Amino acid sequence: MSPEDKKQKDVEKLSPLKDIYHSDLGEENKQYFSTLERGKIMERWKKLLIGFFVVLILLASATVAGFIIFQSKEKFTGEHIRLGFSGPESVSSGDSFSVTVTYENNETVALKNAEFTASFPEGYTLEQAVPAPANEFKNTWPLKDIGVGQKGSIIIRGRLVGQDSGAKTISGKLNFEPANFSSPFDVRASYTVRIQESALKLTLDFAPRASAAAEVSGTISLRNESDETLRDIRLEVIFPTDFTIASTEPKATEGARWDIDALSKDKPYQIAVKGTFHGSNGDLKELRAKASIRSDKNEFVTQADTNALISIIDTNLQASLTVNGRSGNFSVDWGETLDIVLKVRNAGDQIIRDAVGSLAVDSTIIDWDKIRWTTPGKRDKTKIIWTKTEFSDLAEIAPNAETTLAVSVPIIERPPQSVSSTDLMIRITGDIVSTNVVDLEGETIRTSTPPLEIRVTTQVQLRPEARFVDDEYQPVGSGPVPPEVGKTTTYQISWYVSNASNEVTDVKVLTTLPAGVFWVGKEEVSSGSIVFDPLTRQVVWTMNRVPARSGLDLPGLSAAFSVSVTPTAADVGNSLNLTDQTSLEAVDSFTKQIIQKRFDVLTTDIPADPANAGKGKVVASTSVNANTNSNENTNQ
């Protein structure tokens, strides 16, 4: 062992720690060293404990001092900030109402960066607020600083749309920071309002029963029973598919929809409807209407919905019109009488009471002073009327019963000096109406006949004449008058045409020369042309047209030609026929009626001759005849 190792080992043997942890030394020495060591450890722990308590006392003292200091200044608890709502417990859907938000700082610390935010329910539309909100969503109000004890309010006014009996909640939150803290705090509150029955009231005023195919009328009314003006309202009507709308007043915005900008309490919105139900007896028709208000989401929420049921009753009131036995359009002449008959029949199942029949006679050429009543009635200007007062059959018309209303009215004899095509048309319409039908009280049933048009044909006149001298007593013929046996006498035949009211076209005047009468010629015409056919012995005068008022206000049209006769002994004592009957044919350009007229034969009696009228009987031959002129007979 080296001297160093030996020295180290001696030191280890002398070390009390060695002796404590190793039992190589004697027991006594162990006790000694153990007691000594424990004393040192205890001393160390005592110092540590004393230091700990000193620190603890210092901390406690600081806490107590801080508490005392804090207590002596401002204290924030968060329990004394007040936020609340006040408003009505219930509102009508669509009404505008006000809610007041109140806030109050009862803390001992001022609040900074205060801001109130509201959360509105579906169906709520903010209309106004004092003060006004600061953001685009209109739900935030910056309040900035709220001093100790300071209070304030926000008044919010809006409209709430929703279903009946529903409830809507407006909630709010007040965000802030205490003036002596940097942490954010908030206080919350809410307000619930109940939606009661809508302020919009919708009624349908239609008769419970209607006649099929008869026009009915009714009213759709929308009222606002709240004190507030309601806005953005839509009224929709669902008509039966077989209902024909005649008119609505006011007119619909689109289809059967009416958009109403505003509806106040004292001005109900009314729609007058006229139309016709179609269907069979006993059918039930439903007419429905609903009113809605636009919500905050631009959707229309139904507020009122109602319907009306209409029962169809087959009244089937029939009417037919005839004039002069005709049911269609026709033409008549001036001076003719119109026999008008309106037949009325109740082909339905209901009793019709208090019926009123009428005829509308649209004409300026009726001679009303000469009206003849077949069925007692009365006249109101150009309207003929029958009521139960004049004709008791109209008091009640039973099912399947029929009655007749008749009257006769004449047309004036001649057209007035100034006449138009309107004056030449007579339009007649029949009508039967009742407002007193069993099971249809309050409803008017009416049946009208199609108008019957009667056109007045023009008066075309033809005046055939035979003469020996003219109006100036100048001879237009030759030979003896009266005619003598064996001698030839020439006469002039003249035709004069006049036309009253309508232009006529395709005019033809025709006669035939009897045997023994010879064509001399000497034709004279003011219009058209005249032709003699030796084979048929017919004389024909044709014209393309004859204007209205020719021979009246305008010059008449005429044609003339000459004929001759040479009597025989068998003719003595008799007048000779110069022409057969003369006919006129033309087409009325207004009525399209073909006009045909016939006129008597012309004889040697020549009644229109101013000097020789009645001198037509043949006499025996004499040697001298004062009326004999040079014979210009060119008989063929």
Q: How far apart are the first and last CA of the chain?
A: 204
Mean pLDDT of 210-221: 84
Per DSSP, which regions of 441-566 are E strands? Answer: 445-448, 452-456, 460-467, 489-499, 504-512, 517-525, 529-533, 538-546, 557-565
Decide: 105 and 149 in contact? Cβ < 8 Å.
yes
- Distance between CA 624 and CA 90 in Å, rounded? 133
pLDDT at 631: 41
Dihedral angle, C-alpha 486, 492, 493, 499, nearest 10 °? -170
CATH level 2 (architecture), domain 317-456: Sandwich (2.60)
Is 372's pLDDT higher than 50? yes
Query: Up-side HSE of residue 317: CA atoms within 13 Å toward CB?
Result: 33
Q: Which of 364, 289, 632, 621 is nearest to 487 (CA)?
A: 621
pLDDT at 22: 44
- Distance between CA 491 and CA 578 in Å, rounded? 8
Tens digits of per-residue pLDDT, 9-36?
444 444 444 443 444 444 444 454 454 4
Burial class of 302 by CB neighbour count within 10 A (0 to 12, 13 to 18, 19+):
middle
pLDDT at 55: 66
Residue 295's pLDDT band, with cuts at 50, 70 and 90, is confident
What lies within 8 Å, CB to CB, of 597 at 6+ separation is 460, 462, 583, 584, 585
Higher-scoring residue by pLDDT: 62, 168: 168
Decide: 358 and 384 in contact? Cβ < 8 Å.
yes
What lies within 8 Å, CB to CB, of 95 at 6+ separation is 159, 160, 199, 226, 228, 230
Query: Up-side HSE of residue 291: CA atoms within 13 Å toward CB?
Result: 29
C-alpha distance from residue 210 to each of 135, 205, 242, 313, 394 (Å): 58, 13, 13, 6, 21
Higher-scoring residue by pLDDT: 630, 302: 302
What lies within 8 Å, CB to CB, of 65 at 6+ separation is none
- Distance between CA 279 and CA 394 in Å, rounded? 27
> Residue 247 is which amino acid?
S
Mean pLDDT of 168-178: 94
For the sheet with 200-205, list strands across it. Answer: 200-205, 215-224, 269-277, 243-249
Task: Work out the number of other CB atoms within 10 angstroms of the CB of residue 268.
Answer: 14
* Cross-strand pairs, 405: 342
CATH level 2 (architecture), domain 460-603: Sandwich (2.60)
Cis peptide before 410 (omega within 30 of 0): no
The first and second tokens of residue 529, run together, are 């042309």
Tens digits of per-residue pLDDT, 303-339?
888 999 988 887 788 999 999 999 999 999 999 999 9
Q: Which of 490, 510, 477, 496 is nearest to 580 (CA)?
A: 510
Tens digits of per-residue pLDDT, 228-274?
888 899 999 999 998 999 999 999 999 999 999 999 988 999 999 99
Question: Which phi and psi (to 5°) does residue 205 adopt?
Answer: -105, 85
- Distance between CA 302 and CA 292 in Å, rounded? 4
Provide the 3-class DSSP secondary structure of residue 412. Answer: coil
Burial class of 407 by CB neighbour count within 10 A (0 to 12, 13 to 18, 19+):
buried
Residue 623's pLDDT band, with cuts at 50, 70 and 90, is low
Is 552's pLDDT higher than 90? no
Rg (CA), the chain: 61
Residue 277's pLDDT band, with cuts at 50, 70 and 90, is confident
CATH level 2 (architecture), domain 81-196: Sandwich (2.60)
Tens digits of per-residue pLDDT, 580-601?
999 999 999 998 989 999 999 9
What lies within 8 Å, CB to CB, of 15 at 6+ separation is none
Mean pLDDT of 136-145: 92
Average pLDDT across the chain, whole number: 86
Higher-scoring residue by pLDDT: 77, 613: 613
203-313 and 460-603 in the same fold: yes
Question: Which phi and psi (to 5°) does residue 13 adopt?
Answer: -70, -30
List the chain domain ranges: 1-73, 81-196, 203-313, 317-456, 460-603
Question: Which phi and psi (to 5°) does residue 337 adopt?
Answer: -100, 140
Mean pLDDT of 115-137: 92
Q: What are the b/e assignments for 195-232, b being 16+ CB within 10 Å?
A: bbebbbbbebebbebbbbbbbbebebebbbebebebbb
Mean pLDDT of 431-446: 82
**Taking CA 42 as the corner, what is the angle to CA 40 and CA 43, rounded to the nearest 5 degrees?**
65
**Taking CA 184 as the corner, what is the angle to CA 181 and CA 185, rounded to the nearest 5 degrees?**
105
Higher-scoring residue by pLDDT: 227, 54: 227
The reported pTM is 0.54
Residue 572's pLDDT band, with cuts at 50, 70 and 90, is very high
C-alpha distance from residue 293 to each of 91, 96, 164, 235, 318 (Å): 15, 12, 13, 9, 47
Tens digits of per-residue pLDDT, 59-109?
666 555 444 444 444 678 888 999 999 999 988 887 888 999 999 999 999
Output the 3-class SS for 77-131: CCCCEEEEEECCCEEECCCEEEEEEEEEECCCCCEEEEEEEEECCCCEEEEEEEC
* Cross-strand pairs, 276: 215, 244
Question: Which phi and psi (to 5°) does residue 54 adopt?
Answer: -65, -45
| Least-confidence region, from 39-53, 376-390, 471-485, 520-534 | 39-53
203-313 has which CATH code?
2.60.40.3670
If you search the block for the tokens 């029963």, which residue do you land on? Answer: 209
C-alpha distance from residue 298 to each of 123, 294, 403, 490 (Å): 10, 6, 61, 105
pLDDT at 17: 40
The first and second tokens of residue 630, run together, are 């040079």
